[in-house]
Amino acid sequence: MLLDAVQIQKILPHRFPFLFLDRVIAATPGESIVAQKLVSMSDPILQGHFPDNPILPGVVQIEAMAQAAVVLANLSGLFDPELHNCYFIGIQEAKFRAPVVPGEVLTIEVKALRLGRLGKFAGEVRSGDQVKSSGTFTAIIEPKIKPARPSDTPA
């Protein structure tokens, strides 16, 4: 394992219940990353989606791919959580092929198609050999703007 959940939280601003990566198992900086999410019945989103037939929403799978892309940008030296925000700005060609249910271990693989301030990525979510979802998406890295302190404002 390359990164555990605690190490991932040092890179991503997301926290439970919106952190969708449990570990990073492989990465090639500048190229690709492989992460995992363990789907549990105790995940809050599954309590209402759907109560009698719990499935992980497709948008959560896409968000997990986007979170993996931010970790890849960090490992590639392009994103520093102290200095930058990374915003998900577009989804292209998203496909949802099979439901994700509690008990599955998702493998999230993301490949960089373009890295830089504006990045483009291709991702796939699998459980075992079955592809659950895939898509391409874009993100932008922006410098953090520090809020002005009261003593910095003119009187």
Whole domain around residue 34: which residue ranges?
Answer: 5-152
Q: Is the pTM of this model over 0.95?
A: no
Give the model confidence (pLDDT) of 48-81 as tens digits. 898 899 999 999 999 999 999 999 999 999 999 9
> Distance between CA 59 and CA 137 in Å, rounded?
12
Write out 3-56 in H/E/C secondary structure: ECHHHHHCCCCCCCCCCCCCEEEEEECCCEEEEEEECCCCCHHHHHCCCCCCCC
Cβ neighbours of 18 (radius 10 Å)? 13
C-alpha to C-alpha distance for 79 and 70, rounded to whole angstroms: 7
Q: DSSP secondary-structure letter at 148?
A: P
Q: Residues 2, 19, 36, 49: which is the catalytic one?
A: 49
CATH number, domain at 132? 3.10.129.10
Specify the pLDDT at position 146: 77
Per residue in 17-28, pLDDT (tens digit) is 999 999 999 999
State the Cα–Cα distance between residues 64 and 29, nearest whole angstrom: 18
pLDDT number for residue 115: 96
**Bridge-partner residues for 26, per DSSP?**
34
Residue 49 designated active-site: yes
Number of domains into which the chain is organized: 1
pLDDT per residue as tens, the chain (155 positions): 799 999 999 999 999 999 999 999 999 999 999 999 999 999 999 988 988 999 999 999 999 999 999 999 999 999 999 999 999 999 999 999 999 999 999 999 999 999 999 999 999 999 999 999 999 999 999 999 877 776 665 65
Query: What pLDDT, on the 0 to 100 scale, is given for residue 152?
Result: 61
